[in-house]
């Protein structure tokens, strides 16, 4: 495993702390959780940058990066459901898209050594919107921020669905098989 892949895996280290701190959501625990989440999310950019800069882009890294991203996003969303900050069905839409596209991104045409498709522009926009929404929802903001937090969450859900369609559309369009 190279340095960018280690950085990718390191994002998982924050998850137990997020679960613990959000299970007892005092204002200080929520601020600490938000910082842990944002630092972990920031390593997503760092590992990609280093992989390209050091010419260390690997199939393992292209597989692990989106998987770890999904865990980093879904863990706090599950805690936020428990805290009744967001509706479960909104998170279900995100989980459904993530599972569908995670399987779809592995090219089924190559049987012995599948090629992993990288994230497209919509996928990157989706990830940024999810990070912003989750950070806002984790932070113990005053009530006047609730509307912005709700808009950010539903905006992330919509971008999640759009990005899912953007992966599937070229594969299901009638001109694809021509």
Where are the domains positioned within the chain?
3-177
Handedness of CA 52, 58, 62, 67 (dihedral sign): negative
Neighbours of 11 (CB within 10 A): 23
Q: In this predicted model, what pLDDT tens digit does every residue of 140-171 receive, in sequence order? A: 999 999 999 999 999 999 999 998 888 777 65
pTM: 0.82
CATH topology of domain 3-177: 1.20.120
Q: Identify the CA nearest to 134 among candidates 173, 91, 177.
A: 91
């Amino acid at each position: 495993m190279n340095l960018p892949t280690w950085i990718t895996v390191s994002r998982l280290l924050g998850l137990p702390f997020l679960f613990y701190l959000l299970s007892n959501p005092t204002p200080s625990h929520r601020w600490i959780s938000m910082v842990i989440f944002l630092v972990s999310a920031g390593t997503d950019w760092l590992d990609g940058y280093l992989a390209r800069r050091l010419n260390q882009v690997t199939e393992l890294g292209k597989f692990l990066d989106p998987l770890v991203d999904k865990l980093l996003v879904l863990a706090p969303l599950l805690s936020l459901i428990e805290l009744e900050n967001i509706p479960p069905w909104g998170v279900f839409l995100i989980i459904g898209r993530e599972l569908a596209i995670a399987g779809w991104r592995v090219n089924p045409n190559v049987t012995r050594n599948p090629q992993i498709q990288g994230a497209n522009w919509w996928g990157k926009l989706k990830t940024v919107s999810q990070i912003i929404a989750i950070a806002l929802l984790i932070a113990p903001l005053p009530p006047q921020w609730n509307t912005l937090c709700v808009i950010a969450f539903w905006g992330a859900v919509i971008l999640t669905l759009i990005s899912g369609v953007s992966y599937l559309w070229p594969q299901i369009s009638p001109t694809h098989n021509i």
